[in-house]
Structure 1
C-alpha cells in the first residue's frame, strides 16, 4: 500500500468510525442496558443515554483507523501476486484481512469499551470515576476484561460482514456495468452489517456481561466460561431478555 493510500485509509476509517459511534451512541446505551445482568431499568433505563460518551469519543477514531489500515494493508499484501491473488480467492483474502484488523483494533477498543459500558450501566457515575475505580480495584488488567470475548465477537462479525459486503458490491457493480455510487456501497454495507449483527448478537451479550461483571458476579461469569465453556455461557443467556437487545444492535 502506498503512503497516500495508507493516510487515506487512516483518516477515512477513523472519521467514519467516530461519526458512526457518536451518532448511534444512544442506541448503544439502550443495547448495553438491555443486555446487562441487572436488567434495563436498574441499569438506568432511558436516563443518561449519553453516559460513557467521552470514552467512546476518545477510542472511536484510533480504533476504527487501526482496523481499516490493518484491513487494507493485509488485503493488499495477500492479493499481491500470491496464492490468494486469483479472483475466486477474494472472499478468503477479505476474511483474513478483516480478522487480523479486528484483533489489532481490539487492543485499543477493549479498554475504552470496558469503561464505556460500565458507565452506561451506572449512569450516576462519570467516565472518569469509572476509570479510576477500575484501575484501583482491578489494575490495568481490568481494562482488558473481556478481551477474548470481544475478539470472539468481532472476528465472526467481520467474517460475515466484509466478505458479504465485498460480494454485494461486486455483484451490483457487474449488473449495472459501472462502479457503485457511494450510496449504493452504503446500502451494501448496511445490509451486510445487519446480517453480521444478527448472527453474532448472542456473542455480543456474553461480551457485555463479562465486561460489566464485578466481584462475585464477575467470578461466577468467568468460572462458567473457563469450567463449562462458551456453550454453557451462551445457553445461560436464555434466562435474560429473549430478544438480546437485537433491535438496537441491528440499527
Structure 2
C-alpha cells in the first residue's frame, strides 16, 4: 500500500481546519472587511478597530458571521490541500531519492489546483456573510451597513441599512446564486482563487518542508512538535503575505453587495487596473497583517495534528480495523 495514509491525512487536515477556524475566524472577518474598503471610505482604521466596531454594531457573535460555512467546508478544503500535497510528493519521490525544491513546488502547485474545487464556493459564501455587517460611507457621507438587518447606534450617528435585500443565510445565498447564475455563480472568482491558492501552495509547502528539516536531529527522525508548529506558522504567514494581492482581488470580485459609491469589477484584469488607478499599489496589501495572523496558526495547528497523528490514532482504534503498513 502507498506510504501516504490518505484517510488519516484527511482526518488530520479536517480537525486542524476546524480547530484553526474556530480560533482565528474573527481576524479573518476583519481581513475581509479591511480588503473591501475603498479609497476615501476607510471606516475601519485597523484590525482591532474593525473588531471593536463589529462588536459594537453586531454584538460578539457578529465576529463569527460566516463561520458556519467555513466550519462545514474547511474539513474537505484543508483535507484536499494537505492530502493532495502528500500524494504528489509521494508520487514525485518514487525513486526513493529526496525531492528537489522544484518537485516540492510542483507538488504544492498540484495541491493548490485541487483545493479550489471546494475553496471557491466556500470563500464565495463566506465573504457574503462576513461582509454583510461592514459599514460603508455613502456619497452623502452617511454611515450605512451592508446588512439590511442592522440599524444600531454607532458612535455619534446611526448605522442604517441598504434598501437592497440580501439572503440571511449561506443556504439562501447559494440557492439564489444557483437560481440566477447557475453553478458558475458559486464559482465566481475562480480565476482569482487559483491565482491565490496555487502560488500559496508553491511557496508554503517547500518552505515548510525545508524549515521543518532544520529541526530534525537526524534524517530518520521527525522534528519536535513545537518545531513543526513554528515551521508551519512561519511558512504560512510568509506565503499569506506573498499572495495577499491576489486575495484582495478575489475578495473584491466575490463581494456581491456594495455601497453606492463602491466600484464594481467585471473580471480580474478590470479589478487590478481599477485598484491600481484609484487606490494605488498599497491597496493590494490591505489586510495582509490579518491574513498572516489567520494563516500562521491554521497551518501551525495543521502540522501539529500531523505530528501527533490524530487521524492515525482514530483509525487504529476504530472498529473498522487498523491502517495497513
Same fold (TM over 0.5): yes
- Say which structure is richer in helix: 1
Q: Select which of 79, 101, 105 maps to 1:95.
A: 105
Structure 1 residues 80-138: Cα deviation after superposition (integer angstroms, max 9, x where no partner): 01xxx643x43222211111111111101111110110111114433233223323332
Number of the residue aligned with 1:2: 2
Number of the residue aligned with 1:22: 22
Q: Select which of 93, 114, 120 maps to 2:130.
A: 120
Q: Which moved more, 1:112-121 or 1:29-38?
A: 29-38
Establish whether residue 172 from structure 1 lines up as the match of residue 215 from structure 2: yes
Q: 1:136 to 1:197 in 2, by over 3 A?
A: same
Number of the residue aligned with 1:104: 114
Establish whether residue 63 from structure 1 lines up as the match of residue 77 from structure 2: yes
Number of the residue aligned with 2:225: 182
Q: Which moved more, 1:19-28 or 1:174-183?
A: 174-183
Number of the residue aligned with 1:244: 286
Q: 1:75 to 1:242 in 2, by over 3 A?
A: closer
How far off its partner does 1:41 sit? 4.7
Q: Which moved more, 1:157-166 or 1:239-248?
A: 239-248
Q: 1:40 to 1:145 in 2, by over 3 A?
A: farther
Q: Structure 1 length as normaliser, TM-score?
A: 0.84
Q: Contact conserved, 1:66 with 1:105, CA < 8 A, in 2?
A: yes
The count of residues paired between Structure 1 and Structure 2 equals 244
Q: 1:96 to 1:233 in 2, by over 3 A?
A: farther
SS at match of 1:49: helix
Where in structure 1 do 4 or more consecutive aligned residues deviate above 2 Å?
1-4, 37-45, 123-139, 174-179, 213-220, 232-243
- Give RMSD over aligned pairs: 3.1
* Cα distance in 2, alignment partners of residues 100 and 155 from structure 1: 8
Q: 1:175 to 1:233 in 2, by over 3 A?
A: farther
- RCO higher in structure (CA 8 A, sep ≥6): 2
Number of the residue aligned with 1:54: 68
Q: Structure 2 length as normaliser, TM-score?
A: 0.66
Q: Select which of 263, 266, 269 maps to 1:222.
A: 266
Number of the residue aligned with 1:75: 89
How far off its partner does 1:242 sit? 7.5
Number of the residue aligned with 1:201: 244
* Cα distance in 1, alignment partners of residues 219 and 5 from structure 2: 27
Q: 1:214 to 1:51 in 2, by over 3 A?
A: closer
Number of the residue aligned with 1:11: 11
Structure 1 residues 57-96: Cα deviation after superposition (integer angstroms, max 9, x where no partner): 1110011111122111111011101xxx643x43222211
* Cα distance in 1, alignment partners of residues 271 and 169 from structure 2: 34
Q: Contact conserved, 1:21 with 1:56, CA < 8 A, in 2?
A: yes
Which protein is bigger by CA-based radius of gyration? 2
